[in-house]
Structure 1
């Protein structure tokens, strides 16, 4: 089958909250750096055309500028790009967003987990997306050594859920004790942490625990790995290169295939601002690695 004909359905599906979504989704972070936001709109529309029904974003994904007028001026936020590209939204589309940081031109990103700050970010997401509720809100925290707590922040989001502004809640950049604490307050449908072949840390145990609890585990930086915000690299481990050659795919596709094969509850959200890369990423959902191929990958 031509790679352009492979859809997100090839990756299988998972029930995220009350929606069945394809396990291959789309992350919107990398749509914002390009000052020509028309390209981002094309990528987002192409993603949905290819069956993506889970789009990840955040209140703090912001562009240095923009050329697409969305009603109130040039688009600067990923949430504005999503609205420009996809509204009116398909009924099956789940938009997951993150709150917990605030953006100001003077300070850039900073943590702001106060209840008032979280409510302001939820309302900002609603306004920029043009929605009356948010499908899924992940509380993004700064993970600190030792004991810390998400109780106040997660409780504030649970109150907003009870008020009808949010349908489902998740967590981002957390440890298992944060998950335990949050689940005692309200249901958690997703955990979104950094996880990749070469950037696993101690995440394997949390990934498995999420599976036992029926919670989606959503890795970010699955392609970038330890490069994180710097993006996908061109140098890969020999084992990744060997598997890529055997399947006739790219090393980046092997990394995504490996990610999806870590469990049926694992959802991929690779991001890109390029339609050709988007097609390759989605096609990775059709790559199946054997046990012998998975073993050297770790």
Structure 2
């Protein structure tokens, strides 16, 4: 399988020496309800992954905890052997408990097992990028990442990982990771209405490090804003399209990984992210993250 040469909104960014499209694809929604078990429509899941590649997307985000194992196995079935231009980013640091919770799994033995599980389920000898997932389901939590991140550095030195990143991290944890070893990305919750990482995004941009917002459209509860709806109505498009386009305008180091289980919806997201936004549009949208509008 080979990727088509397609101009995607936002152009490209470099994760180390790896060039990826700023518009990527997040595979989490390909698993069953609650990100557990297989999808109801396996053929549809395969189709959306192949559609991503057909559209020219070269950045797919996943984790072996999704399912668990489900999304990685789907990616392998749909796309292996992978095109040289396609780069898969995964994360470790949590596992699914019997109730579908996201329990921390950051002991050295947990992380080594997770890296080897990702290698096996994806059918790879080396992972392009591995993010260390910190915090918990409520968000980032303070505390040192030194032992966990050091374990991933050891696996990187063994040739099992090409590049490292962190996810669900505080500003201080990002700085601590950078002091231990280079990182190429930070993956945190961020969108039009949740702007707490604005200073971090600007700091990372100055160092050429990518910022990858998860829940770019609000997560399990879509973004709701009268301002967002008004701008979308004026532009003749959807609020979600405007929200994606705003993220690409926010900073050149922001990479998008919106998820969907529908090939048609994926194509709609790509088209929506290309929505032109004027300076006045951006000024109006920037007000959404202020304390005066929620």
Assess if the C-alpha contact under 8 Å between 1:6 and 1:282 holds in 2. Answer: no
Whole-Å Cα distance in 2 between the matches of residues 129 and 232 of structure 1?
30
1:150 is matched with 145
* Number of positions where the alignment pairs a residue of Structure 1 with one of Structure 2: 275
Structure 1 residue 39 and structure 2 residue 44: aligned?
Answer: yes
2:20 is matched with 21
5+ residue gaps, structure 1, are 64-75
5+ residue gaps, structure 2, are 33-38, 287-294
2:236 is matched with 248
2:292 is matched with none
Deviations 1:128-161 (A, max 9, x none): 0000010000000116787411111110001000
Assess if the C-alpha contact under 8 Å between 1:7 and 1:282 holds in 2. Answer: no
- Matching of residues 113-262 of structure 1 within 5 Å: 113-142=106-135, 147-200=142-195, 202-223=196-217, 225=218, 228=219, 230-232=220-222, 236-262=224-250
RMSD: 2.0
Whole-Å Cα distance in 1 between the matches of residues 115 and 168 of structure 2?
18
Assess if the C-alpha contact under 8 Å between 2:191 and 2:215 holds in 1. Answer: yes
Instruction: Give the ranges of 4+ consecutive aligned residues of structure 1 lying more than 3 Å apart after TM superposition.
Output: 5-8, 104-108, 143-147
Q: By how many angstroms is 1:284 displaced?
A: 2.5
Residue of structure 2 aligned with 1:276, choices 264, 273, 279: 264
TM normalised by structure 2 equals: 0.88
Whole-Å Cα distance in 2 between the matches of residues 125 and 146 of structure 1?
25
TM normalised by structure 1 equals: 0.87
Q: By how many angstroms is 1:7 displaced?
A: 4.7
Secondary structure of the residue aligned to 1:102 is strand
Whole-Å Cα distance in 2 between the matches of residues 32 and 146 of structure 1?
27
